[in-house]
Amino acid sequence: MTVFGSRSASSRRTIVAGLLAAALVAGVNLHAQQAAPAPAAQEDPFKFSTDAGALLWIVKADNTAEFEAAWKEIRSKLATTDKADLKALGDSLKMFKIEAPASPQGVSYLFVADPASKTLSYSPSPFILFTSGLFPDADGRKLFDQLNGASAGINPLPLIKIP
């Protein structure tokens, strides 16, 4: 085994210079990571800034009844609320089942919000079920579990009307 002191002076200088360079690079990278601004908070993809929006739900073929029952209850609460903004959100939301054979992922549903609320989120969770005040926590949790168990995916789609 060769010890550090048994190398030539130029080899030692090269090794020390390399170690110093590595330490400086590591220090610069650490400083850059600390100085980098934090990423902006994620925008809610279920809050539309466009005049209309859509939600494409894929529902497991054997869970369509649970999915439809959950949304029937949610839409009923939206329709009967005394909060004008939530009532308008519910009134703007039209629900369609796409009449086509189920894909391997499931059955497709299309929700169209026209006009879309530009101030409220169409997210079932957390907004509609938990923070809107429409449901007590236990009821919101039950509906969330029902939707979550039935869903194979959901895609929010901002829509722009073509004149």
**Residue 152 burial (10 A CB sphere; 0-12, 13-18, 19+):** middle
Which of 105, 113, 112 shows the shortest CA–CA distance to 153?
105
pLDDT score at 25: 43
CB 110 within 8 Å of CB 139:
no
Bridge-based pairing of strands 93-97 and 107-113 is antiparallel
pLDDT score at 43: 87
Residue 47, domain member (yes or no):
no
Considering the domain architecture, whether residues 153 and 106 belong to the same structural domain is answered as yes
Residue 43, domain member (yes or no):
no
pLDDT score at 26: 44
Considering the domain architecture, whether residues 21 and 90 belong to the same structural domain is answered as no
Considering the domain architecture, whether residues 146 and 93 belong to the same structural domain is answered as yes
pLDDT score at 80: 96
Considering the domain architecture, whether residues 155 and 129 belong to the same structural domain is answered as yes
What are the φ/ψ torsions at residue 3 (nearest 5 degrees)?
-95, 160
Return the structure tokens found at 130: 């938990």
Query: 């189920």: which residue's tokens?
Result: 102
CB 113 within 8 Å of CB 93:
yes
pLDDT score at 6: 53
pLDDT score at 66: 97
| Domain of residue 105, CATH code | 3.30.70
List, run by run, the mean pLDDT of 10-residue segments along the chain (163 residues): 50 46 43 51 87 96 96 96 96 96 94 95 93 95 96 95 90
Whole-structure pTM over 0.75, yes or no? no
Domain count, the chain: 2
Considering the domain architecture, whether residues 31 and 95 belong to the same structural domain is answered as no
- Strand-pair partners of 109: 57, 97
- Report the C-alpha gap between 95 and 72 in whole angstroms: 10
Considering the domain architecture, whether residues 66 and 113 belong to the same structural domain is answered as yes
pLDDT score at 41: 62
pLDDT score at 69: 97
- Report the C-alpha gap between 18 and 146 in whole angstroms: 60
CB 114 within 8 Å of CB 51:
yes
CB 61 within 8 Å of CB 102:
yes
Considering the domain architecture, whether residues 27 and 58 belong to the same structural domain is answered as no
Residue 86, domain member (yes or no):
yes
Residue 130, domain member (yes or no):
yes
Considering the domain architecture, whether residues 62 and 103 belong to the same structural domain is answered as yes
- Report the C-alpha gap between 52 and 94 in whole angstroms: 11
Residue 45, domain member (yes or no):
no
Which domain covers residue 12, as residue numbers? 8-35
Return the structure tokens found at 30: 């650490």
Considering the domain architecture, whether residues 21 and 99 belong to the same structural domain is answered as no
